[in-house]
A and B are shown apart, each in its own frame.
Chain A
Amino acid sequence: MRNKMFKSALALALLAAGATSALAAGAEEDFKTAYAAAESANKEAGKLRNQWTTTASTLAAAKKAADAGDFDKATASAKEAEALAKASIFQATSERTRWKEMEIR
């Protein structure tokens, strides 16, 4: 009877450990996806000669959090970096014509 209980406990513990590591692996994957999207958007901004310093620092913060194993924080930072990069792309694109509004004539 005691042996049976021990086996069940062991199985439960292994299951819990497996679930935790699966969750961690999932969080890491989420981070990698978010980081790659942010980097790609920032590269696009670079091609338009319009990167923002805040995108770079937010990407660095994401990497730092990931290195420390905090993937939730890292993913949140990566998503913020992507939003900043996309805003810089929008700015560069809209300024192609908008700059004329400020011109002295």
Chain B
Amino acid sequence: MKLRSAICLTSAALALAVLTLAGTLPAGATDKIDPVADAKAFQKFFTDKFPKVKFEDFVNGPYSMNEDLHRQWQEKEQFPPYEFSLEMGKEMFSKPFKNGTSYEDCFPNKGIGIRQNYPYFDEKEGKVITLELALNRCREANGEPPFSYVKDEMAALTAYMAFTSRGKPMDIKIPNDPRALEAFQNGKEYFYTRRGQLNFSCATCHVQSPGERIRAEILAPALGIMNAMPIYRSEWSGMGTTSRRFTTCNSQIRAVPLNPQDDEYRNVEYYLSYVSNGLPISGPGARP
């Protein structure tokens, strides 16, 4: 009798412990995080939805969705609107800082042809490092003030670095580190979470409605969307960084944007870049 009571009591305690543990885990944490399966499903979704679009053409955003726009873009590429930024970036990149070092000293392969590896997960820091963040850290480590994440200088530097990687397939790694998996998962959650008064998520436009019009714009597919960054946008009459794209997307849906390079933005960039692995870098891009 005593033994039976003890077994019952132990079972009840175990059940309670399991329930308590489940209650403390974040939503979705009980699901296995599987970036490989996620990327496969993500790419399949778009290739099934747009069977006529060549895989590598997804990086051209709205131009891959509409034949007329595609023709306009091909003409535009003869005298690309981002050219001025590219030249500025090239000049800035090779100019030494006051201490004699330059950007080349902060990056592998002197910063040439490495865009496809960003963002990466830094296991020492336990966080995602984007190219924009790495550039500003390089400046600060060498006694230079950081650039604004949304303005021309940062766009010019990343434009030049992207250009040196053109055609190379996006190659984002997720190390075998639970923190990296968590960053990927948090980025995914951010991507699908509705926010702002308009109750839109990133996916509302870029998964549910690519190719559709929103006012005068044709929405880009999420697949390959990071590969074209930074971009010249006619709507902005200038260049824009990834940070600028994220913050303006938030404002457009009436959500107060977070600070550029906050963890949420770094994680969503990590997620979006990873699921576009294999697609070529096409940045800098031009958009209507």
How many A residues, CB 8 Å from partner?
Answer: 22
Interface residues of B in 140-194 (CB under 8 A from A): 188-189, 192-194
A91 touches which of B27, B189, B194, B256 (Cβ 8 Å): B194
- B245 on interface, CB distance cutoff 8 Å: no
B27 to A52, Cβ gap below 8 A? no
- A7 on interface, CB distance cutoff 8 Å: no
Interface residues of A in 75-99 (CB under 8 A from B): 84, 87-88, 91-92, 95-99
Name A residues whose Cβ lies closer than 8 Å to a Cβ of B.
49-54, 56, 84, 87-88, 91-92, 95-100, 102-105
Q: A52 — nearest CB in chain B belongs to which residue?
A: B197
For B42, the chain A residues whose CB sits under 8 A away are 104
Within the complex, the shortest CB–CB distance from B206 to chain A, in Å, comes to: 11
Q: A46 — nearest CB in chain B belongs to which residue?
A: B256
B256 to A95, Cβ gap below 8 A? no
For B45, the chain A residues whose CB sits under 8 A away are 104
A54 to B194, Cβ gap below 8 A? no
Q: Could you write out 11 A-B pairs with CB less than 8 Å apart?
A: A50-B195, A50-B255, A53-B251, A53-B255, A96-B27, A97-B27, A99-B192, A100-B28, A100-B192, A103-B188, A104-B41
Given A99-B193, A103-B188, A104-B38, output 15 extra A-B contacts at Cβ < 8 Å: A49-B264, A50-B195, A50-B255, A52-B197, A52-B255, A53-B255, A53-B256, A54-B254, A84-B197, A91-B194, A95-B193, A97-B28, A102-B204, A103-B192, A105-B41
Assembled-state Cα–Cα distance A104/B202 (Å):
13
For B255, the chain A residues whose CB sits under 8 A away are 50-53
The 7 closest A-B pairs by CB, nearest first: A51-B256, A99-B192, A99-B193, A104-B45, A95-B193, A102-B192, A53-B254
A52 to B254, Cβ gap below 8 A? yes
For A98, the chain B residues whose CB sits under 8 A away are 194
- B203 on interface, CB distance cutoff 8 Å: yes
Once A97-B27, A100-B28, A104-B42 are accepted as A-B contacts, the answer to whether A49 and B258 lie under 8 Å apart by CB is yes
B194 to A99, Cβ gap below 8 A? yes
- B126 on interface, CB distance cutoff 8 Å: no
A95 to B195, Cβ gap below 8 A? yes
Within the complex, the shortest CB–CB distance from B249 to chain A, in Å, comes to: 13
Within the complex, the shortest CB–CB distance from B198 to chain A, in Å, comes to: 9
Assembled-state Cα–Cα distance A97/B42 (Å):
20
Within the complex, the shortest CB–CB distance from A93 to chain B, in Å, comes to: 11
B194 to A95, Cβ gap below 8 A? yes
Assembled-state Cα–Cα distance A87/B198 (Å):
11
